Amino acid sequence: MRKALLTCDNERTPVSLVAAVRAAADVERRVQLDKALAVLEWVAARQLPEDRAAEERADDHLDEMTRDRFGSQALHLAGPGAPVVEEDEAYEIAAALGLSRQSGSRYVGDLIELRYRLPRIWSRVTALDLPLWKARKIAAATCTLPEAGAAYVDAQLAWAAARTTLAQIDRTVDEAMVRFAPDLLPEDPTDHRDVIVDLDNARHGLVSIDALLDLDDALDLEDALRAGAAALKEADSDDPLGVRRAKALGDLARGQGALDLQTDSARRRPLVVNVVNGQVTCEAFVRPGLPVSVSVDQIRGWCAAAAKVTVRDVLDLRADYSTESYAPTEKLSAQARRLHPTCVFPHCQSTSERCDIDHVVEYADGGPTSTANLAPLCRTHHRMKTHARWRYRRRFDGVFVWTGPMGQVFEVDDRPPPPLVE
């Protein structure tokens, strides 16, 4: 049988194989366009009246806590003059697309921007002359421009959008901003400098850092990392260069030179370790409320360097804890967050540590404050459930079943997979 299959494959010429790939790519582009057209048909059918959109645009400055009491909001996903949609319905579209509310909102907003504010570029997309991903790059860059600015970019880029580079897109948008929205220009380019330490996505005890620095600062940092990595090598470190550079950066953060490894406890931070029985990984809290999953060896090394080590009681994730009060106990909250690592709304990736702990069945309706009736919801989706038209329940098997305002049903199963049977 294997020989027959190989013979059949060999009979296909390189030309036919490339043709098959090209045909599959054409089908994919068509499917992407059909999906976009379906979303825009929904936008056209469900866009809010202009008076409602204008009224709520004035409230855009309100923070999330203040907006809670208003329930679902009018979402301005594209630039001025584009249709506005209902928030809770937009999140249902995002869930139907298999996207988080953030990614789904960006996708829908880009399509609205293209269809209503960049019509020439959109016509290239519908003719399959321009990939949708590239058109979305343009749309994402123009959504802050006034209508005249968006029209300028549309006219400048539409004729050769397929061949336009991302740098050319940026230059054209910048020119439109200078011409039509100079008040949106940053006063000083250095305003964009930032350092992002991505603690929310720590994995295996490692954290990504993204930074935009002044050139002079960057040169000094590079010199310090080179010197630190070289000093660690001279101190008989056999780590790869990248690891030594990372360690040198950590030494700089502690105010230490690469060889000046102080043991003063004043420079050490306390460490809280939560060890889960029967697992080879641990959870360490190196900052209040922020857990990271790391290996046992890493925990052992951290314990040796910490000023104070606190080992907390291991949570029994299979226990059914409860309390008579409305507010869950610390143990109940911790258990809910461990059982559900993220918000339990469809496709939401907000870490449970930043979520509210919600009663699935409302406490006022007799819902207990117990393990089986608590789940983490991020603030936005908590508002959708409490003040808008989203509803959810928990089935007997632990799966959350959500119903959106337009009647679509979504299942969220965040239970751990069963152990592999050898």
pLDDT score for 283:
54
Specify the pairing of strand 271-275 against strand 309-311.
parallel
Rg for the chain, CA atoms, rounded? 27
Model pTM above 0.85: no
Taking only the tens place, the pLDDT of each residue in 198-224 is 887 778 788 899 998 877 788 889 989
Tokens of 422: 């050898």
pLDDT score for 187:
67
Count of CB atoms situated within 10 Å of the CB of 43: 22
pLDDT score for 419:
65
Lowest mean pLDDT among 198-207, 225-234, 294-303, 383-392: 294-303
Q: Where is pLDDT greater, at 332 or 214? A: 332
Taking only the tens place, the pLDDT of each residue in 58-73 is 555 444 444 444 689 9
Does the structure show a pLDDT above 90 at 277? no
Taking only the tens place, the pLDDT of each residue in 252-261 is 888 775 445 4
pLDDT band (50, 70, 90) for residue 272: low
Taking only the tens place, the pLDDT of each residue in 119-150 is 999 999 999 999 999 999 999 999 999 999 99
Mean pLDDT of the chain: 84
**Cβ contact 114:122 at 8 Å:** yes
Lowest mean pLDDT among 159-163, 189-193, 281-285, 331-335: 281-285
pLDDT score for 25:
93
Q: Rounded distance, CA 181 to CA 38, Å? A: 33
Q: Is 255 left (phi over 0), alpha (psi -120 to 50) or beta?
A: left
Does the structure show a pLDDT above 80 at 20? yes
Does the structure show a pLDDT above 50 at 3? no
pLDDT band (50, 70, 90) for residue 1: very low
Q: Rounded distance, CA 345 to CA 412, Å? A: 7
Does the structure show a pLDDT above 80 at 306? no
pLDDT band (50, 70, 90) for residue 155: very high
Start-to-end CA span in the chain (Å)? 29
Its sign, for the CA torsion 204, 205, 206, 211, is: positive
Where are the domains positioned within the chain? 2-184, 188-262, 322-412
> What does each C-alpha distance from 230 to 15, 37, 235, 237, 253 come to in angstroms?
53, 57, 9, 9, 18
pLDDT band (50, 70, 90) for residue 280: very low
